[in-house]
Structure 1
Amino acid sequence: MNDYYDVALRNYSYIFNFEEKFEHKDTRAWMTKNWTISFYFCGLYMILIFGGQHYMQSRPRFQLKGVLSVWNTLLATFSIMGAFRTAPELFHVLKNYGIYHSICIPSFIELDRVAGVWTWLFVLSKLPELGDTVFVVLRKQPLIFLHWYHHITVLLYSWFSYTEYTSSARWFIVMNYCVHSIMYSYYALKAMGYHPPRAISMLITTCQLCQMIVGCTVNIWAAQYIQEHQPCHVSVTNIRLSIAMYFSYFVLFARFFYKAYLSQDSGKKSKTIVSVPSQYARNNSEKLKGQ
């Protein structure tokens, strides 16, 4: 335990009790045995959201501003905490060991319980994040493909990657926590009735696009290390799935960015267009109502 503290305190000024007691072997054993449950969750999710849309067709939309404010505030707080508890490990590895180690050696599980527990919480968080779509359905906002495709694929990939202790995941997790910290904080402010400047929404989408580019780059580096026969704790299957996922996200978010900020119609909108799919869908809905 003392050796652990010597390592951990280089990155963290304080270690919480639940972080200290975290046992990655127990969580991995459970996730390895049960990760396919995520498919059932996704199936139920699809039934509920599209069934919910059908149910809401003949019913008035819910406002849910108070609940939405609390929901986004909780997710923003969780994301900020996750970013602060995982980013130090990535920076420490990059500074002291380099790119190869950060991509191929899974020390975030073996040597760092703080990053380990927040990695596990990250994976689990993809399940409650499906609740974002509940608000879309109940508020009768158009449910675009990017929204539900993103939620489903992230959930499935995250749960699968945890069973493999995918070492490159430290990059994906830190990036996602950081982007979500900004994104859900923006959501929360909007739900509370504030009007952050349009530049913030553009910044969020730009960060999302950068996230996809870095994700693809990390996977390409991992593939190169494997081709060079260097030990790398990333499976070829995982690399293929991850590149396909990140590239598809990049295409969809780039298309969204163009429609929201660069097309001629985007300049005519009187309301701020938010970079998140659900908010963009709401603005589209308002536009259609005026036609």
Structure 2
Amino acid sequence: MLQKAVSRILQFHSYLHARTDARVRDYPLMQCPIQMTSILLAYVVFSVYIGPGLMANRKPFRLNTVMIIYNLSMVLLNAYIVYEFMMSGWATTFTWRCDLIDPSSSPQTLRMIQVSWWFYFSKYIELLDTVFFVLRKKQNQITFLHVFHHSFMPWTWWWGITLTPAGGMGTFHALVNATVHVIMYFYYGLSAAGPRFQKYLWWKKYMTAIQLTQFILVSIHISQYYFMEKCDYQVPLWIHLIWMYGVFFFLLFSNFWVQAYIKGKRLPTADMPKLNGSLVETNIVVANGKHLANGNAHHYTNSKIFLSKVKEI
């Protein structure tokens, strides 16, 4: 039985290697799914168990300078990704409708493949968001949504650029996401800079509106596929997954918007109500599964994180 299971795993590995697009095969972390899956599993275990355990009897680290540098670096990286996505198709040759997967090796296509990989790789850098929360003992901010988003996004993107690195209309959500991250990490940088910059963060609640706009744009764009008379997109599965992803997060953030800004259920940070099974700080706007406090929320030194909730001990 064990020998048969190992044989099937090896066959699947050989199949993936054969199917991996030759244009992206030599990029880091693209050789097989074991590397990236191991990294993401280690991230989940560290975020949920090891990190909080190591910090349980330690004082929180003050990482303001590191976080300012990190956040501003992420602003620059995401701005570069946006520019490259635009120049490699979205502002040059794409129709913004039925843009097919490009199998060629033209300079522009290789440029699209490169920026798609950079977008994918940036998701590993973003895992530091959670590491900073752990080291600063902000366990209440490491919700199920936060951990799920940070691990699920790079995992799914590995399959996308392994099989279709120049994904045509399937890359629009990456362009929009990187654009939103430019704004988000700029906010994070100001927040981490300290109280003297708080007066510049009056637009905090509009981050949720920006996120909702992102999901609307992505859903509308990808929905065109279902209404076109003819669109021979080579891997329709990507279309369906992107549509479901956009609708799922639109509903999630819409619920937050209604609860926080229409019903006015915004309590002080000491009160930690549940939202969709997760404890959240309701005076901090959530974006992409993250909390936009990045440096100024209260921390709880007597808490453990168990994926979907914080359990007091």
- TM-score of the superposed pair, with normalisation by structure 2: 0.70
2:47 counterpart residue number: 49
Cα–Cα, structure 1 residues 69 and 284, in superposed 2: closer, same or farther, change >3 Å? Answer: closer
Shift of 1:232: 0.7
2:209 counterpart residue number: 206
Cα–Cα, structure 1 residues 85 and 288, in superposed 2: closer, same or farther, change >3 Å? Answer: same
CA distance in 2 between partners of 1:90 and 1:217 (Å): 16
Cα–Cα, structure 1 residues 148 and 115, in superposed 2: closer, same or farther, change >3 Å? Answer: same
CA distance in 1 between partners of 2:58 and 2:105 (Å): 48
Q: Larger strand proportion, structure 1 or 2?
A: 2
2:163 counterpart residue number: 164
Cα–Cα, structure 1 residues 207 and 167, in superposed 2: closer, same or farther, change >3 Å? Answer: same
CA distance in 2 between partners of 1:188 and 1:269 (Å): 21
The residue type equivalent to 1:123 in the other structure is Y
CA distance in 2 between partners of 1:25 and 1:196 (Å): 50
SS at structure 1 position matched to 2:68? helix
CA distance in 1 between partners of 2:35 and 2:242 (Å): 20
Deviates more, 1:69-78 or 1:162-171: 162-171
CA distance in 1 between partners of 2:218 and 2:163 (Å): 18
Shift of 1:238: 2.4
Provide Cα deviations, 1:219-276, integer angstroms capped at 9, x if missing partner.
Answer: 3333555xx563113x233233333332332233223333443343427679973444
Shift of 1:53: 1.5
CA distance in 2 between partners of 1:130 and 1:259 (Å): 28
CA distance in 2 between partners of 1:133 and 1:181 (Å): 18
SS at structure 2 position matched to 1:195? helix
2:253 counterpart residue number: 253
The residue type equivalent to 1:38 in the other structure is M
Contact 1:109/1:115, CA 8 A, preserved across alignment: no
SS at structure 1 position matched to 2:126? helix
Shift of 1:56: 1.8
2:241 counterpart residue number: 241
Instruction: Structure 2: state its 5+ residue gaps.
Output: 1-20, 271-281, 303-313
Deviates more, 1:253-262 or 1:158-167: 253-262
Q: Larger helix proportion, structure 1 or 2?
A: 1
The residue type equivalent to 2:219 in the other structure is C
- TM-score of the superposed pair, with normalisation by structure 1: 0.75
Cα–Cα, structure 1 residues 36 and 229, in superposed 2: closer, same or farther, change >3 Å? Answer: farther
Cα–Cα, structure 1 residues 122 and 81, in superposed 2: closer, same or farther, change >3 Å? Answer: same
The residue type equivalent to 1:183 in the other structure is M
Shift of 1:49: 0.8
SS at structure 1 position matched to 2:266? helix
Shift of 1:283: 7.2
Contact 1:85/1:118, CA 8 A, preserved across alignment: yes
The residue type equivalent to 1:204 in the other structure is M
Contact 2:212/2:250, CA 8 A, preserved across alignment: yes
Cα–Cα, structure 1 residues 32 and 133, in superposed 2: closer, same or farther, change >3 Å? Answer: closer
Contact 2:184/2:207, CA 8 A, preserved across alignment: yes
Shift of 1:122: 0.8
Cα–Cα, structure 1 residues 174 and 190, in superposed 2: closer, same or farther, change >3 Å? Answer: same
| 1:125 equivalent in alignment to 2:122 | yes
1:220 counterpart residue number: 223
Cα–Cα, structure 1 residues 109 and 45, in superposed 2: closer, same or farther, change >3 Å? Answer: farther
Deviates more, 1:163-172 or 1:128-137: 163-172
CA distance in 2 between partners of 1:46 and 1:124 (Å): 17
1:5 counterpart residue number: none
CA distance in 1 between partners of 2:105 and 2:64 (Å): 39
2:17 counterpart residue number: none
Shift of 1:197: 4.3
Instruction: Structure 1: state its 5+ residue gaps.
Output: 1-23
2:182 counterpart residue number: 181
CA distance in 2 between partners of 1:85 and 1:281 (Å): 28
SS at structure 2 position matched to 1:217? helix
Cα–Cα, structure 1 residues 283 and 247, in superposed 2: closer, same or farther, change >3 Å? Answer: farther
Cα–Cα, structure 1 residues 131 and 254, in superposed 2: closer, same or farther, change >3 Å? Answer: same
Deviates more, 1:66-75 or 1:114-123: 114-123
2:131 counterpart residue number: 134
- Number of residue-to-residue matches in the alignment: 259
